[in-house]
Amino acid sequence: MRDKVCQEFTILGKDNFRSLAILVNSKKYSNGTFEEISHLVNKIVSLAEKCCAEGVDPDCYETESLAMSAKSCAENSPFPDHPGTEACCTQQGLERKLCLAALYHPPKDVPTYTEPPTDELCEKFKENPKDFAERFLYEYGSSYGQAPLPLLAASARSYLSMVGTCCLLTNSVSCFLESRLERKSLSLLPTIANRVCSHYAAYGKEKSKISSLTTFAQKIPSSPLEDILSLAEDFSEVLSKCCNSMAEECMQNELSNHTAKICCRLSDKDDRVAECCKGKNPMENYFCIYSLQRGQSPELPQFQRPTGEQLCGEDGPYSFPRGDGVIRMAIREGALPQLRNEMLTFLNKTNDLCETYARSKVHEFKKRIREKYRKKMPDATEEFLTGLVEQRDSFASTCCMMNAPPTYCSLKVESCLPLKVLINGMIAVSIT
């Protein structure tokens, strides 16, 4: 670790090393305050400055890093707080350091960074350029925690260069307009990468493939299974290759190739895809395809439901692949019809809710939902109805979107699932 830190410090120089440390630790501790991240970064830079110099005591890094972990465990520590800190602090020496280093906050499902208006932005920059840059790196890193670090760093450098140039010009507005057009792809890429890598982090490779297959089927339901299965497999490969890659160009190159494959296979299946593929910039084309909403479902033949024997078979077609084995269902005799009914009821209710949301204007949705529940529950109080409407609106506005945040919406869905089916022991899942 000492060699890695000292190599980065020597190659980057103190200022760039500090900037990278802010970005890295803002990604890692997404719930930390700017002051907490600053305290941590100050200590990291100080350690590197002191212990990476020529002729320094070989034990310097070990001594200083142990002192830093002790400071993390002290009461009223200035570093980012974490629920796991207390357990780590019961250990000593290297074990404590490794335990503390492994702690991180869950990445934010929805980025919170919003760019201020140009006038306000330039005013803050001129007041204190260094503070402006560091606060931006903190906000950017904590908001896009799942985007690959090299990609995030390149985008941040480009943005700060634009601000530093345009804010010093008399006609800053036209400078910003021109610069934003030039860096449109670079600014889109962290947003895209953060979203797709969030799904990969939440689902893993195999489930990401299934999720991608489902998304393609919903967006372009007229597509042949062979085409969207191939594209789903290709997309999961892109994510496994690039989400944790330290190669700056990985995501851009691989997504560009993936976009070309989508355009080749699906342009003649859907006019919206064909329109997206007319652009000359692959990243803009991908973002256009990514942003497409559900297509019109075609009339399909009646689905032949599998029997209980087919579902339960160890090597049957309904075993679900998993990275470390296979998920197999074990279902009590006679429970399948009830389970199916419970799940279909839940899916139909969710589908109706999302369809209502898609068809409604902002204020109409709450009104329609309130009227629906008032008819169902005529004795309910206004306070109860308001709470129910707000709950459904919160779910629909976030989770009915095609590219909904996975972790947040998984928790929301789980809280609504017909859990009595699971609790009654009618279905059990064994992972082998």
Confidence at residue 87, expressed as pLDDT on a 0 to 100 scale: 93
Pairing state between β 320-322 and 427-431: unpaired
Residue 400: pLDDT band (50, 70, 90) is confident
CA 382 to CA 373: how far, in whole Å? Answer: 11
What angle, 0 to 180 degrees and rounded to 10, lies between the N-to-C axes of helices 118-127 and 149-166? Answer: 90
Q: Is the pLDDT of residue 364 over 50?
A: yes
Burial of 317 (0-12, 13-18, 19+ CB in 10 A): exposed
Which tokens in the block code for residue 128?
């204190």
Query: What is the identity of the amino acid at 212?
Result: S
Nearest to 22 by CA among 156, 210, 151, 125: 156
Indicate left, alpha or beta for 93 from its phi (over 0: left) and psi (-120 to 50: alpha).
Answer: left
Encode pLDDT of 139-181 as tens digits. 999 999 999 999 999 999 999 999 999 999 988 999 999 999 8
Percent residues over pLDDT 70 in the chain: 88
- Which of the four pLDDT bands, split at 50, 70 and 90, describes residue 185? confident
Q: What is the pTM of this model?
A: 0.79
Decide if pLDDT at 103 tops 70.
yes
Q: What is the mean pLDDT of the chain?
A: 85
pLDDT for the residue numbered 168: 92
Q: What is the pLDDT of residue 354?
A: 86
In order of 193, 208, 240, 254, 261, the CA distances from 235 in angstroms are: 12, 8, 9, 9, 10
pLDDT at 281 exceeding the cut of 80: yes
Q: pLDDT band for position 333 (50/70/90)?
A: low
Mean pLDDT of 34-38: 96
Q: pLDDT band for 48, please (50, 70, 90 cuts).
A: very high
pLDDT at 323 over 70: no
How do residues 239-261 score in pLDDT, each as one tens digit? 999 999 999 899 999 999 999 99
Query: 9: closest CA among 39, 60, 51?
Result: 51
Q: How confident is the model at residue 350 (pLDDT cuts 50, 70, 90)?
A: confident
Percent of residues, the chain, with pLDDT higher than 90: 48
Phi/psi of residue 333, nearest 5 degrees = -55, 125
Dmax over Cα atoms in the chain, in whole Å?
A: 81
Least confident of 124-133, 201-210, 309-318: 309-318
Q: Say if residue 432's pLDDT is above 50.
A: no
Q: With cut-offs at 50, 70 and 90, classify the pLDDT of residue 416.
A: low
The pLDDT of residue 326: 40
